[in-house]
Amino acid sequence: MSIVRSHILGCGAYLPDTVLSNAELARRVDTSDEWIVERTGIRRRHIAADGQTTSDLALKAAHAALEDAKVSASEIDLIVVATTTPDETFPAVATKIQSRLGMTRGAGFDIQAVCTGFVYALSVADNFIKCGQAKTVLLIGAETMSRLLDWKDRATCILFGDGAGAVVMQAGSGHGDARDRGVLGTQLYSDGRLHDLLYVDGGPSTTQTTGKLRMLGKEVFKHAVVNTTNAIREAARAGGVTVDEIDWIVPHQANQRILDSTAHKLGYPPERIISTIAEHGNTSAASVPLALAAGIADGRIKRGDLLLLEAMGGGFTWGAALVRW
């Protein structure tokens, strides 16, 4: 029996030119390179230039993904952008990308699931493709988290950075088992009771300002390890594979210690978890596609490999996707 599978045809990424090192941050707040590296694994992050917007980053990643996929903008039916830092409260970044790609057809919208945004958007895109409402989807995770930071709060401003990653997905076919190429399954979760552990203290209908990111890091850390471990196990189980069979875990990049603890809990080799955290810190919805692009660019991820994408963020939201690359 043949079924519809969302194949991922190509991937692209973009990081802004400006690099902010731990040493430079230590000149702004009471911190040190040693503390940041030891507690998080982050060494540097990229920061968007003045005037450079989320859609500017998203567009560059989109061009790279379209080129890699050998797909032209005119073939796209749907653009889904995962972001928590849109250029404006409305319209969606996706519609800006649509016009900047010169598209005159199709549809676009943004998804707000904070750091889990890319996994949520992947799930939405996969379902649009599977139900036949879209054939070719451009999926982007893009963020300018630097604009949401309280640069006086050393507990949060050291963690985040700016960037964008994108993939092109297209309807293909499969047999309905884990040997198929493409998206094999997605698991999404949220628990709104945990709002106060990670949120932004502003918004259009409350303060009429953008607000700043607030986080109780230690609490978020504990939930992150438990939730992502469970999501990975459930995605593997639903896909009919064991965790051992996963070639690469491509995770949200929040903290190297979260990745190490997750590997330990799963009994999974840490060297098979793609970590880019040292280079760009936590880029929220952009971090999974940035890690994916890095793993492909350096030759670790090869066509046919079984990938597990996972993320966890404000809301709380978390989720995982099993993908045969």
* Residue nearest ligand UT7, Cβ-based: 217
Query: Residue 270: how many CB atoms within 10 A of its CB?
Result: 15
Candidates 7, 11, 22, 115; catalytic one: 115
- 265 burial (CB, 10 Å; 0-12 / 13-18 / 19+) is middle
Bridge partners of residue 163, in order along the sequence: 143
Which one of 7, 46, 252, 280 is the catalytic residue?
A: 252
Q: Is 131 a catalytic residue?
A: no
Task: Give the span between the Cα atoms of 286 and 117, in whole angstroms.
Answer: 8
- Phi-psi category of 311—alpha, beta or left, where left has phi over 0 and alpha has psi -120 to 50? beta
In the annotation, is 252 catalytic? yes
CA diameter of the chain: 62
Residue nearer to ligand UT7 on the CB measure, 268 or 318 = 318
The residues, any chain, with a CB within 8 Å of residue 51's CB and separated by 6 or more, are none
The catalytically annotated residue of 22, 227, 255, 282 is 282
| CB-nearer residue toward ligand UT7: 171 or 194 | 194
Q: Cβ 197 to ligand UT7, closest distance in Å?
A: 9
Give contact residues for ligand UT7 (rule: CB under 6 A). Answer: 31, 35, 39-40, 115, 154-155, 158, 217-218, 220-221, 224, 254-255, 258, 282, 312-313
Distance CA 54, CA 52 (A): 7
Residue 183 Cβ, how far from ligand UT7 at the closest point, in Å?
23
Rounded Cα gap, residues 48 and 178, in angstroms:
39
Query: Taking the complex as a whole, how short is the minimal distance between the CB of residue 165 and ligand UT7, in angstroms?
Result: 15
- Shortest Cβ 214–ligand UT7 spacing (Å): 12
The nearer residue to ligand UT7, 289 or 313, going by C-beta atoms, is: 313
Q: Which is nearer to ligand UT7, 105 or 218 (CB)?
A: 218
The answer to whether 282 is a known catalytic residue is yes
Positions marked catalytic: 115, 252, 282
